Amino acid sequence: MAFDYDQYIRAGKLPHIWCPGCTYGIVFKSILRVVDTLKLNRDDIAMVSGIGCASRLPGYVDFNTLHTAHGRALPFATGLKMAKPDKHVLVVSGDGDATAIGGNHFIHACRRNIDITVLVFNNFIYGMTGGQYSPTTPSGHLATTMPYGNIDTSFNIPELAKGAGASFVARGTAYHAAGLDKLIIEAMQHKGLSVVEIINACPTTHGRRNKFKSPTDMLLWMKDTYIPAVAFDKLPPEKTAGKFPMGVLFKKEGLPEYCENYYGLVERLKKQREGRA
Amino acid sequence: MAFDYDQYIRAGKLPHIWCPGCTYGIVFKSILRVVDTLKLNRDDIAMVSGIGCASRLPGYVDFNTLHTAHGRALPFATGLKMAKPDKHVLVVSGDGDATAIGGNHFIHACRRNIDITVLVFNNFIYGMTGGQYSPTTPSGHLATTMPYGNIDTSFNIPELAKGAGASFVARGTAYHAAGLDKLIIEAMQHKGLSVVEIINACPTTHGRRNKFKSPTDMLLWMKDTYIPAVAFDKLPPEKTAGKFPMGVLFKKEGLPEYCENYYGLVERLKKQREGRA
Amino acid sequence: MATEQAAEKIEATESPKVKISIIPRYCKGCEICVKLCPTQVLGMDVFKVKVVDIDKCTICMACELRCPDFAIFVEKK
Amino acid sequence: MATEQAAEKIEATESPKVKISIIPRYCKGCEICVKLCPTQVLGMDVFKVKVVDIDKCTICMACELRCPDFAIFVEKK
Amino acid sequence: MSERYEIRFSGSGGQGLILAGVIFAEAATIYDTKTAVQSQSYGPEARGGASKSEVIISDKTINFPKATAIDLMLALTQEACSKYYKDIKPDGTLLVDEDFVKEIPKGTFKVLRLPIIRTASEEIGKAFVANIVAIGAITAITGQVSLEAVEKAVLSRVPKGTEELNKKALKAGYDLAKARAK
Amino acid sequence: MSERYEIRFSGSGGQGLILAGVIFAEAATIYDTKTAVQSQSYGPEARGGASKSEVIISDKTINFPKATAIDLMLALTQEACSKYYKDIKPDGTLLVDEDFVKEIPKGTFKVLRLPIIRTASEEIGKAFVANIVAIGAITAITGQVSLEAVEKAVLSRVPKGTEELNKKALKAGYDLAKARAK
Amino acid sequence: MGKIKLLQGNEACAEGALYAGCTFFGGYPITPSTEVAEYLARRLPQIGGVFLQMEDEIAAMAAVIGGSLAGCKALTATSGPGFSLKQENMGFAMLTEIPCVIVNVMRGGPSTGVPTGPGQSDIMQCKWGTHGDHPVICLTPAYVQEIFSETVRAFNLSEKYRTPVIIAFDEIVGHMRERIEIPDAGVLEIVNRVKPTCPPSEYLPYDDSKGDVPPMANFFEGYRYHVTGLNHGTDGFPVNASPRIHTDELRLLRKVEANRAEIIKFEEYMLDDAEVAIFAYGVSGRSAKTAVEMARAEGIKAGLFRPLTIWPFPDEQVAELAGRVKGIVVPELSLGQIIFEVERCAKGRCKLEGIYRVDGDPINPAQILAKVKEVK
Amino acid sequence: MGKIKLLQGNEACAEGALYAGCTFFGGYPITPSTEVAEYLARRLPQIGGVFLQMEDEIAAMAAVIGGSLAGCKALTATSGPGFSLKQENMGFAMLTEIPCVIVNVMRGGPSTGVPTGPGQSDIMQCKWGTHGDHPVICLTPAYVQEIFSETVRAFNLSEKYRTPVIIAFDEIVGHMRERIEIPDAGVLEIVNRVKPTCPPSEYLPYDDSKGDVPPMANFFEGYRYHVTGLNHGTDGFPVNASPRIHTDELRLLRKVEANRAEIIKFEEYMLDDAEVAIFAYGVSGRSAKTAVEMARAEGIKAGLFRPLTIWPFPDEQVAELAGRVKGIVVPELSLGQIIFEVERCAKGRCKLEGIYRVDGDPINPAQILAKVKEVK
Ligand SMILES: Cc1ncc(C[n+]2csc(CCOP(=O)(O)OP(=O)(O)O)c2C)c(N)n1
Ligand SMILES: Cc1ncc(C[n+]2csc(CCOP(=O)(O)OP(=O)(O)O)c2C)c(N)n1
Ligand code: SF4
Ligand code: SF4
Ligand code: SF4
Ligand code: SF4
Ligand code: SF4
Ligand code: SF4
Ligand SMILES: [Mg+2]
Ligand SMILES: [Mg+2]
């Protein structure tokens, strides 16, 4: 039987709001398959987002869902997680949401290594507001606020996460949807903060303006451009130009997780008090 | 003759506000020597800070000085620099100012690679507000908001800067004051964003609470703990525990600098128009 | 929240080997499935997808996997 | 801004080789210079630094370099 | 004629209807001597799905800026037609693409069916000039703005090299409406 | 006696004068039956340099919470003395450490000189109990709070293991003031 | 009898929060509010509650909302600059109806201003600081004991009306120490949010059909619903433009407006026969009380209206007062803010005189008395 | 004659800025203000000016202040949530007296609200949004041509009074297109900040001895001085607690208050013999104008007071009006904000009726006419 997405989607919410050919729907499906694979109870998951097209996702999934302010998903999620450390907290965020206005919360969540999974939907643009350049827009690309071609330098999101101290960093793409399932599963099973950058296509505000003839072309670009990290690392430099690695890019296990640390302290104090009493 | 600091210090502003034994004064002097060495015109330098004890520095130096809001020095500085790209803009910031509330501006300035030098005075604590823990407070240390010992993980500021795309990253200490001069000189000569983390001591709100008997003890701890990067890299792992490298830790030249890019575009457009006319 | 959902109209095309279901109301006509289908099973009916030649289907699942709109499902029989 | 500065009171101690100047109003008595002087040239006068034995001075500049308060200057003669 | 004439251009996201509204407003107020206000739909519904652009034309200052009693509404898609027809005045006009709008909503307004998109793709050879064909037709139907002014406005807005094409499209729409109106 | 008695403890940053104020206020309002308000200086000047802590004691509710007409001011350093003496009432008292405050500001107030720090370091053997010695002296001078209440307050606030030391310091200060007052 | 302590106002605030059942604090240090955090940093881990110092005030406010949504009573504390930064997320809590308490220990000046000085110049910001229409409850205690009890009340109102509540007091009362009694558990009433009793499948988080305050489900308790800062329908999902937005926003304001009688609290001191009234809160209210006593001692019929709830503003009470006194004196540690509200309600029926002071010192009783004499 | 164009309100704002000499834009995209940025992203590089898209609104506001301090006329544009975020740094510019212009294209709702819908519900926030006492000038144009000219005026006022100026208009006027004429250079007056003429060694950046607006030196022009968000002395260095703080903050407010006559601008339409007045700005002012015409057509003596400057509020004008009409009708795209100010100034001397609407549509003339009839 075909995978039953409906069990995780709120009644009557389809078709979703995204444009024709927007790849967010592909990732959406991946997330639902992962939840199913991990046999998570819907009551025990919170999905939190900021503002943007990517951030509209929580409206569709039948979990506890929280659509916050632009860039602020992570601190809201941190509040939820600290209050209920045994629940699963999943943050979905756009490139702008996570790394422009939300950049500070992003690096601090990484540093704090709190057990939250962050999926960054990187479509290289501010989609929701109509195509302004974002901190990940490639050099030279056109955007409404870079009408002469982008002169700004991009973040490398995995590098940023790693530099900030994240203990799990991966990259997948909407094209490699099956592989994406595996990455998200591994991210959610990781104890500590996990970041998955997910390459997406915004045909409406990015593709059209930048010579991608169709959404499919954008998917095929992903196919050509993102190479499994193991393979990537073996390529000679001249073959990696314009290509990027995907897969689990960085992983460090056994680092202290924030909730464990905090509730460990609570336990310690309790024992001390009992010892004293 | 002794070095004439007075030429760069505003009349009547000494003694400065910092506590007895606060090492900020040591770094202050280093900066003045650097300005002298580089023969910079005082009119052509702006020093910009946020809020905190470190951020009080601009009040003392006889440059164009701007003491902004907590964490916001970098975007103010970016405005100055973009408006007057041929001037020198120097940001001084505390660990809290630069990497807690100001973390987003920090990583974006690094990414943008704008030709500003950022000196992060890392004293491992929020000094100005009386000793709350900061994103750099070492694990286990006491702070007023970590009364049971810090359970949080610290940023490695150079790693953070590098992950965000900075093209020049160095680390010095107040103890190694002479070496610090060299690092700041190199940072200021670098085209693009340069970050120098400067290890400092806050005896009042950090040292006292954490078994440092005196300011001197804190300086001596720096002497023992920070090792020139070249030497550090050669040490066997068992000898690097609890030690950190200092010096220029990362440097990449020839990366596009933001003002150059921007004014390059302006020139291009001008030529286009002239060509058309 | 209630999870029951009004049954969507589904257009199913079947062959002995495979059944391809399309939910017309969900399909936004992005043509991703059409273009990514390695064997040209699918085509466009103005703004929506349609099955053109089910016999060519190799059940590779590319269309279902990458349809962003929950609009096409492929089931091996 | 005006840069002229009211002359600060300076206490100078001299030997044939070296002159050590202390600005008492600036000295906060942190003892950094005292403790870092390798040859115990300096000492404390309750809350301020003082020169104890100038003849031991090797002009290593450690005190001047690390005084946070612009309060001590060493000049080779 | 009422002193205020309201036109709504509707269809789907990519059909160039916002541009159509802008061109019409420009014709009225830059190249003719009328007053005009143009506005359009923003927000999620402007991404794909139905979209609309409105122009109010008057001889006097326009204060209240929203179109609420539509004199003429163009609908190039069924979805747009069903979604937006409600504001048409009782004695207003609904102009639809005769191939793409099959279900005509009930109302006392006049209904005109024209093969706008077909004209663009078959007669002019480019489906994307449907908006210009529509402008031509509307110019003829409403008589609010001179064809001359509209032509100037079109030419000032379309990409270089497409002037002739668009002039043809405009003319085709204009003629189409004139012919049918007879 | 006026219904409101204002005491200011002043000296340099590390001398424990804020704690002294807190202890005195606690003595008055927790262990005695009076009303008390304690406040202290914040801000950059509280870092090193001169610092102060104030206690207002009354038999009634204290509404206006700032000390503005000081009945008794303690100054352990010259800097603090010069900086803060101005609010002392014309008939108030200035209590200074006789070794560290040499220049007595002019005024009609009464001046008392006591070797507070010397007593702490020489008699008790720990300079850091100077604040407790001062409390003892002030208890004696002001008569605002019972020695018993002050002792309870001191003991509840000082680190475990230093109780005897502090009791001695309190007594020493109390006796010192009583002796001089004679 | 409860526990007797000598506490700072800020510490009393922390104690009040604990008494009210607060188990979550999210903050970022700022003078002069930091002691609230420092106190709770010690206490919350002891009772299994959460103490979180976040990367900035925006994050602190966000974490607090998250904590509340997960079922905790949650608190944040800040001062001027931090309060400005929290505004966006405060608006989120107001629109999404997530209870929480925000403490603003007011310091001097705009911008960084005078961090260690007192101020009362954020009081209009407490009402209007975030964009859009939004309900505001704001309490203004003036004594350490009152800070304790008003903090308890703040949590109660917040839980009862499903809305953020602000507590605003000045640096002076925040930093001074007074004797307070912390009552035994059970002495003060504690209100908890009403949770839904319907089956999850029927739950509508913003159903206004049974009253203005719909029951609130905590996350992870089986009621899976959607919370968004977009205007939303009864089911919590966004609505774009419809009468619903209007009626729902009206309901939000009505939660406060229709319950003025319960929310508005004030002290009247010698007002019965007063010819001159003083309208003052916080430290200025304390000075005013002394000024009233001084005036009465001189035979001047002065009285004090001291609001403990400043928002919603006591419109009716002030209007009534203005109708029966010669004048109202309004001392504030600002250049004149709340006097605009007094002016609005007084409708020109009596004289009005402000006393403004922003130099770091409180307005003293003598200043007030002088003005009272002018008005009389 | 100048250039004739059909422009959106947002585009006209950008054109106005360019006309006024703006060479610096710092922003962060947000609906419905983004077109201001997009327009300038194209235009500024062409003229050698700076276009900066920053990482968030806080940074955008900061960059704008930096740009101004380095000598540029600088602009930022945003909407509700972004406006909330800018508040802290707006306070910085107010206290440090750095000119700049902040555009708030008002959308619907608090929090994220209705991003694409119009609103007028940030209007009180424009005055009170940042903490502490602070001077505010806020302009409220309603027509595309007016957005152009008021943007020019905003820069002029900002430069003249060394203070940030806010321009607040609603999504409807921001997004609609109208014909505008852009006058040739020189037709409209352009004001530039007064720079010091004294030798640098004598320069006191906040010297109030020669008037309330001290000359302002740009950075890097030889006047090395200190700028701080702490309250400061005439020399710009922090002062902690002293009468200076009080007098300096009073001066800041006085820069605006004492120049009301110049700053306050409004349109009066058929008010001379009016029995009912409508007080309305922005899109509501446009509707009101039509309503007045409809009323007059029915023989009802209605008139319109349409403020182009909303802050400082036209106290005197409203007071005078209230004294001679039966009632004032106040239509707003909010649940009632500016009506509080009208109420304050009217002092009970006439009837007052609000019309509130926050469902995404403008208030229409018929609604207003109906209310006018009620009041009459
Ligand atoms: C405080 C604030 N600033 C700006 C906005 C406007 N805004 C909404 S979404 C968005 C960017 C979205 O980009 P991204 O996060 O990459 O998501 P996408 O739409 O591309 O999925 C912006 C700038 C906002 N809602 N709030
Ligand atoms: C918006 C805002 N939040 C908080 C503060 C309070 N504050 C002032 S300085 C500071 C931290 C200072 O730490 P750091 O940057 O490390 O500087 P240091 O004092 O240690 O040199 C804080 C939290 C503030 N002034 N503004
Ligand atoms: S605008 Fe872009 S990101 Fe947003 S829904 Fe459309 S395609 Fe997707
Ligand atoms: S508190 Fe710490 S950082 Fe601040 S001046 Fe004192 S020693 Fe230096
Ligand atoms: S399953 Fe594969 S072969 Fe079959 S229709 Fe889909 S894409 Fe084509
Ligand atoms: S991929 Fe999905 S939405 Fe796109 S055309 Fe195919 S079925 Fe329709
Ligand atoms: S120069 Fe060296 S030796 Fe001489 S006093 Fe200073 S530290 Fe001591
Ligand atoms: S280091 Fe400087 S401040 Fe410290 S004791 Fe020596 S001279 Fe004085
Ligand atoms: Mg994006
Ligand atoms: Mg620090």
Helix (H/G/I), strand (E/B), else coil: H26: strand
What percentage of chain G has pLDDT greater than the value 70?
A: 100
Tokens of A116: 């939250």
User: Looking at CA atoms only, how far is residue G241 from chain E in angstroms?
Assistant: 11
Distance (Å, whole) CA C23 – CA C49: 9
Domain with CATH 3.40.50.970 in chain H: 3-182
- Helix (H) / strand (E) containing E1: none
Mean pLDDT of C10-33: 96
Which pLDDT band holds residue C4 (cuts at 50, 70, 90)?
very low
Residue E49: the pLDDT is 74
Q: What is the pLDDT of residues E47-101, one digit of tens each?
A: 667 889 999 999 999 999 999 999 999 999 999 999 999 999 999 999 999 999 9
CA of F44: which chain H residue's CA is closest?
H240
* Ligand 1 pocket mutation pick from A16, A128, A204 by most atoms within 8 angstroms of CB: A128
Per-10-residue mean pLDDT, chain B, length 277: 90 95 98 98 98 98 98 98 98 98 98 98 97 98 98 98 98 98 98 98 96 97 98 94 97 96 98 85
Mean pLDDT of H105-132: 97
Q: Is residue F97 part of a domain?
A: yes
CB contact under 8 A, G112 and B144: no
Confidence check: pLDDT of A231 > 60: yes
CA of B155: which chain G residue's CA is closest?
G55
* Ligand 3 pocket mutation pick from A128, A144, A210, A217 by most atoms within 8 angstroms of CB: A128
Distance (Å, whole) CA A167 – CA A161: 9
User: Looking at CA atoms only, how far is residue A66 from chain H in angstroms?
Assistant: 13
Contact by Cβ (8 Å): G76, G104:
no
Chain A residues in contact with H41 by the CB 8 A cut-off are 144-147
For B92, residues 6+ apart whose C-beta sits below 8 A from its C-beta are B31, B47, B48, B49, B54, B55, B57, B58, B73, B119, B121
For A88, residues 6+ apart whose C-beta sits below 8 A from its C-beta are A40, A44, A45, A46, A117, A188
Touching chains, A (3+ CB pairs < 8 A): B, C, E, G, H
Domain boundaries, chain B: 5-276
Touching check for B55 and chain F: CB below 8 Å? no
Distance (Å, whole) CA G346 – CA G341: 8
Distance (Å, whole) CA A96 – CA A105: 13
To probe the interface with B, which of H51, H55, H75, H130 has the most B CB atoms within 10 Å? H55
Which pLDDT band holds residue A276 (cuts at 50, 70, 90)?
confident
CB contact under 8 A, B2 and D69: no
Residue E1: the pLDDT is 37
Domain with CATH 3.40.50.920 in chain G: 265-375
Task: Tell me G59's DSSP state.
Answer: H
Q: Does domain G3-182 have CATH number 3.40.50.970?
A: yes
Helix (H/G/I), strand (E/B), else coil: G353: strand
CA dihedral F9, F11, F16, F22 (to 10 degrees): 20
What's the F118 CA to ligand 8 centre distance in angstroms?
25
User: Looking at CA atoms only, how far is residue E8 from chain A in angstroms?
Assistant: 23
Print the SS3 string covering chain B: CCCCHHHHECCCCCCCCCCCCCCHHHHHHHHHHHHHHCCCCHHHEEEEECCCCHHHHHHCECCEEEECCCCCHHHHHHHHHHHCCCCEEEEEEEHHHHHHHCHHHHHHHHHHCCCCEEEEEECCCECCCCCECCCCCCCCCCECCECCCCCCCCCCHHHHHHHCCCCEEEEEECCCHHHHHHHHHHHHHCCCCEEEEEECCCHHHHHHHHCCCCHHHHHHHHHHHEEEHHHHHHCCHHHHCCCEEEEEEEECCCCCCHHHHHHHHHHHHHHHHHHHC
Contact by Cβ (8 Å): H124, H158:
no
Backbone torsions φ then ψ of E51, nearest 5 degrees: -140, 155
Q: Is F83 exposed, middle or buried (0-12, 13-18, 19+ CB in 10 A)?
A: middle
Distance (Å, whole) CA H6 – CA H1: 16
User: Looking at CA atoms only, how far is residue G225 from chain F in angstroms?
Assistant: 47
Strands A168-173 and A244-251: antiparallel
Which pLDDT band holds residue D3 (cuts at 50, 70, 90)?
very low
What percentage of chain H has pLDDT greater than the value 90?
A: 98
CB contact under 8 A, A266 and G45: yes
Length of chain D: 77
What's the B257 CA to ligand 9 centre distance in angstroms?
24
Strand partners, A121: A94, A198
Distance (Å, whole) CA H78 – CA H166: 11
Say yes or no: CB of residue B63 within 6 Å of ligand 2.
no
Distance (Å, whole) CA G18 – CA H166: 42
Answer yes or no: is the ipTM higher than 0.90: yes
Distance (Å, whole) CA C74 – CA F148: 89
Q: What is the pLDDT of residues G142-199, one digit of tens each?
A: 999 999 999 999 999 999 999 999 999 999 999 999 999 999 999 999 999 999 999 9
Residue G27: the pLDDT is 98
Distance (Å, whole) CA H123 – CA H282: 11
pTM of this structure: 0.98
Which pLDDT band holds residue D61 (cuts at 50, 70, 90)?
very high
Residue F13: the pLDDT is 80
What is each CA distance from E110 to E89, E90, E106, in whole angstroms? 10, 9, 10
Backbone torsions φ then ψ of B18, nearest 5 degrees: -70, 155
Q: What is the pLDDT of residues A88-130, one digit of tens each?
A: 999 999 999 999 999 999 999 999 999 999 999 999 999 999 9
Confidence check: pLDDT of H265 > 50: yes
- Hey, what long-range contacts does F103-107 have (CB within 8 A, 24 or more apart)? F103/F78, F105/F81
Closest residue by CA, ligand 3 atom 1 = A127
Say if residue G29 is preceded by a cis peptide, omega within 30 of 0: no
Residue F1: the pLDDT is 37
Q: How far apart are the first and last CA of chain A?
A: 61
Q: What is the pLDDT of residues H37-87, one digit of tens each?
A: 999 999 999 999 999 999 999 999 999 999 999 999 999 999 999 999 999
Residue F45: the pLDDT is 53
The CATH class, in words, for G265-375 is: alpha beta
Confidence check: pLDDT of C6 > 80: no
- Helix (H) / strand (E) containing E47: none
Residue F41: the pLDDT is 83
Residue burial H229-255, b: 16+ Cβ < 10 Å; e: rest = bbbbbebbbbbbbeebbbebbbbbbbb
Which pLDDT band holds residue E46 (cuts at 50, 70, 90)?
low
Q: Is residue E136 part of a domain?
A: no
Residue D2: the pLDDT is 38
Amino acid sitting at position C16: P
What's the E165 CA to ligand 8 centre distance in angstroms?
84
Which pLDDT band holds residue G141 (cuts at 50, 70, 90)?
very high
CB contact under 8 A, B84 and H62: no
Contact by Cβ (8 Å): E127, E117:
yes
Q: Is the dihedral of CA F118, F123, D42, B9 positive or negative?
A: negative
Question: Total structural domains in chain E?
Answer: 1
Residue G241: the pLDDT is 73
Mark out the alpha helices in E39-162 (DSSP H runs): 78-84, 116-118, 130-142, 147-157
Nearest ligand (C-alpha, residue D71): 8
Q: Which residue has the higher pLDDT, G162 or C77?
A: G162
Residues of F with CB under 8 A from a CB of G: 22, 25-26, 29-30, 35-40, 42-44, 46, 62-66, 68
Residue E44: the pLDDT is 59
* Protein residues within 5 Å, CB atom, of ion ligand 9: A 94-95, 123, 127
Mark out the alpha helices in F28-112 (DSSP H runs): 78-84
Helix (H/G/I), strand (E/B), else coil: A119: strand
Chain B residues in contact with G112 by the CB 8 A cut-off are 51, 67, 69-70
Mean pLDDT of F61-86: 96
Contact by Cβ (8 Å): H60, H76:
yes
Of the candidates G116, G216, G230, the residue with the CA atom closest to the CA atom of residue G175: G116
Helix (H/G/I), strand (E/B), else coil: G323: coil
Confidence check: pLDDT of D1 > 50: no
Mean pLDDT of D13-26: 96
Say if residue B75 is preceded by a cis peptide, omega within 30 of 0: no
Tokens of B21: 């034994």
Q: Does domain A5-276 have CATH number 2.60.40.10?
A: no
Mean pLDDT of E154-177: 96
Strands F4-12 and E110-114: unpaired
Tokens of C66: 């990458």
Which pLDDT band holds residue E45 (cuts at 50, 70, 90)?
low
Say yes or no: CB of residue C58 within 6 Å of ligand 5.
yes
CB contact under 8 A, G235 and C2: no
Which pLDDT band holds residue C7 (cuts at 50, 70, 90)?
confident
Residue G242: the pLDDT is 82
For B214, residues 6+ apart whose C-beta sits below 8 A from its C-beta are B21, B203, B207, D30, D31, D35
Say if residue G141 is preceded by a cis peptide, omega within 30 of 0: no
Helix (H/G/I), strand (E/B), else coil: A35: helix
To probe the interface with G, which of F54, F56, F66 has the most G CB atoms within 10 Å? F66
The CA radius of gyration of chain D, in Å to the nearest whole number, is 12
Q: What is the pLDDT of residues H279-306, one digit of tens each?
A: 999 999 999 999 999 999 999 999 999 9
User: Looking at CA atoms only, how far is residue G173 from chain H in angstroms?
Assistant: 18
What percentage of chain D has pLDDT greater than the value 70?
A: 92
Say if residue H32 is preceded by a cis peptide, omega within 30 of 0: yes
For H356, residues 6+ apart whose C-beta sits below 8 A from its C-beta are G246, H332, H334, H335, H336
Tokens of G227: 């919370």
CB contact under 8 A, B268 and A148: yes
Q: What is the pLDDT of residues F79-109, one digit of tens each?
A: 999 999 999 999 999 999 999 999 999 999 9
Residue C2: the pLDDT is 38
Residue E2: the pLDDT is 54
Which pLDDT band holds residue G376 (cuts at 50, 70, 90)?
confident
Which pLDDT band holds residue C3 (cuts at 50, 70, 90)?
very low
Distance (Å, whole) CA B256 – CA A152: 9
Residue burial A180-208, b: 16+ Cβ < 10 Å; e: rest = bbbbbbbbbebbbbbbbbbbbbbbbbbbb
User: Which residue range forms the structural domain that includes residue E65?
Assistant: 5-116+142-158
